[in-house]
Structure formats: C-alpha cells, structure tokens
Amino acid sequence: MALIAALQMAAGPQVQANLMEAGRLIKEAAARGAGMVVLPETFAMMGADEADKVKVAETFGNGPIQTFLSQQARKYGVWIVAGTIPIRSGDPARSYAASLMYDDKGKVVARYDKIHLFDVMLSENQEVYTESDTTVPGNNPVVVDTPFGKVGMSVCYDLRFPELYRRLSEQGAQILVIPSAFTELTGKAHWEVLLRARAIENLCYVVAPGQGGYHVSGRTTYGHSMIVDYWGRVRGVCEKGAGVVLADIDLEALEQTRKTFPVLSHRCPKDNINQGTS
C-alpha cells in the first residue's frame, strides 16, 4: 500500500505567497508519509480577475512555479501532481490550464491540459464564469504509470463528463486525480456525489483536492477535498481552509474487487446497443 495526499488551499493573487503555503502543505504531507501529493486547481494564482492568471503564465519547462515544484519534489522525495498552472499558448490572451506531474527526482513525467472549460451562469445568484475567454482547452486524455498505480489525470469541470473517465479506465487507470476549485453553490449540490460516482463506475480510487475558502475575486470555493476508494467509500475529507487529506491506496484490494465484481469487463460496445426510439 502507498499513502497519497490531497492538499487543500484557499489561494490568493500573490504567486509567492501561494507557493509558500503549498510548500508548507507538501512538507506536512511528506512528513506524514505521503509518497504522492496532489495540489488543487489554480493553486499558484487565484486573482481578482480570470485574466490575472494569463499574466503569470509560464513557458512549458521554464518559470518560477515550475522550478518551485521540481525543487519540492526533489527536496521531499515525493511525486507531485501540480493541480493546474497557467502555461503559455499561441494566444496571448489565453493560457493552458496544465496539470503537471513530477516524479520524486523533480522531473516532469506528464502534462494534462484541462479539456472541459467552465462556461456557465449559476442562475441562483447570477454568478457567471467564462473560462474559455482566458483558457485554451486540451484534447488528450492522460494516464501515467507511477509507483503508486496507473494515474488518470483530469481537472475540476471534467468531473461532469463520465465519458472522459471511461477513456481513462479503459487505458488502465486505477487512480483518478481531480484537482478542483468548485464553487460553493455547485459543490454543495454535486461535488461528493460526482466523485463517488466516478470512483464506483470505474472501480478506481479518486483523489480530489480543492480550493476551499473566500477569494479576492469575491468567489467562495467549496473545499471538502476528499479521497474516495473504488467502492465509493470516503476515506478522508477536509471541509474548509488549508489542510491535508491522506489515504492508503491498496491496489491489491482494488484488483481483487475488479476480479470478483467484473463490471468493467461487462461494458457493451456502442455498436451492440440498439439505438431505438420511444
């Protein structure tokens, strides 16, 4: 078994302050035995405006945020899934929301660019989000072979699209990481039930760190970072503020369950399902 940590933050507009807080939490998780730590979405920058993140976007492979992550991985001997950081695109007004994975030597071993972008209006209080104004979507699902298991990468709004997680589990994923910054409104309604659903339907562990608190933009994020096992059981949760959630990943138990409850092998190919009308 291995320990994986989900780190919860309430990031602000100052990159250096956010990195200091991330470093404190990484240190705590490593001291408690975590071999992999997963940071929340936008852990290095949540500004007053969505465009603020583009101003601090880095070239892939070079920049203070990426240097910090590499140094932290080496310093504590842990693997890091770096939530999301803004990576420059060909569009000066938009960056990629890139989730980078570092090994314990500080080397980038994977990059996932968030596919589904949060363009919604929450009618109850007229909150409007148009992530596509400042973010270029990715298009490639990513599964990474790690010492802790095969990790399928995703980010926040991706959670609402089960077809992505089907692709990841078909590619062998045993652990799904979902760094997020869910709103208070949608989090209360859907966060836990969606996380547990993704875990159950794919017989995977889910590691879901989130932002949790009030931000200078006026946005309140839901928090409730949690780790869910392959049977849908919540193994740990941090409700609000900064914190660390730790849980054991037992791949032996997971694979035994997949053998005795072989739901993944019972999927019907699309061509075998009648497309009838009613």
E-strand stretches of the chain: 2-8, 36-38, 79-81, 85-88, 95-102, 108-113, 119-122, 127-130, 135-136, 142-146, 149-153, 175-177, 205-208, 212-214, 220-222, 225-228, 234-238, 243-249
> Given pLDDT bands bounded at 50, 70 and 90, which one contains residue 276?
low
Q: Which of 41, 58, 131, 184 is catalytic?
A: 41
Asked whether residue 278 is domain-assigned, the answer is no
DSSP states of 191-246 as a string?
Answer: IHHHHHHHHHHHT-EEEE-BBEEE-TTS-EEE--EEEE-TTS-EEEEE-SSSEEEE
In a domain, 258, yes or no: yes
Q: Examine the pLDDT at 275 and tell me if it is beyond 70.
A: no
Reply yes or no on whether 268 is catalytic.
no
Residue-number span of the structural domain to which 74 is assigned: 2-267
Residue 127, pLDDT > 90, answer: no
Q: Quick one: DSSP state of residue 51?
A: T
pLDDT (average), residues 154-182: 97
Q: Which residue has the tokens 């599964």?
A: 143
Task: Please give the pLDDT value at position 243.
Answer: 97
- Residue 275 resides in a domain: no
Q: Residue 53: what pLDDT?
A: 93
41 is catalytic: yes
**Confidence grade of residue 181 (pLDDT, cut at 50, 70, 90):** very high
What is the CATH number for 79?
3.60.110.10
Let me know if residue 274 belongs to a domain. Answer: no
Q: Choosing from 114, 131, 204, 238, which is the catalytic residue? A: 114
Query: For the whole model, what pTM was predicted?
Result: 0.95
d(CA 208, CA 205): 10
Task: Look at residue 160 and tell me if it is in a domain.
Answer: yes
Residue 227 within a domain: yes
- DSSP letter, residue 61: T
Mean pLDDT score, 127-153: 94
Marked catalytic residue, from 21, 58, 156, 184: 156
Q: Is 114 annotated as catalytic?
A: yes
Q: What's the domain count of the chain?
A: 1
**Residues 177 and 199: beta-carbon distance below 8 Å:** no
Give the up-direction half-sphere exposure of residue 79: CA atoms within 13 A in the CB hemisphere: 20
Measured CA to CA, the distance from residue 264 to residue 170 in angstroms comes to: 8
Residue 115 pLDDT grade (very low, low, confident, very high; cuts 50, 70, 90): very high
* Inside any domain, residue 277: no
Q: What is the mean pLDDT of the chain?
A: 94
Tell me if 135 is assigned to some domain: yes
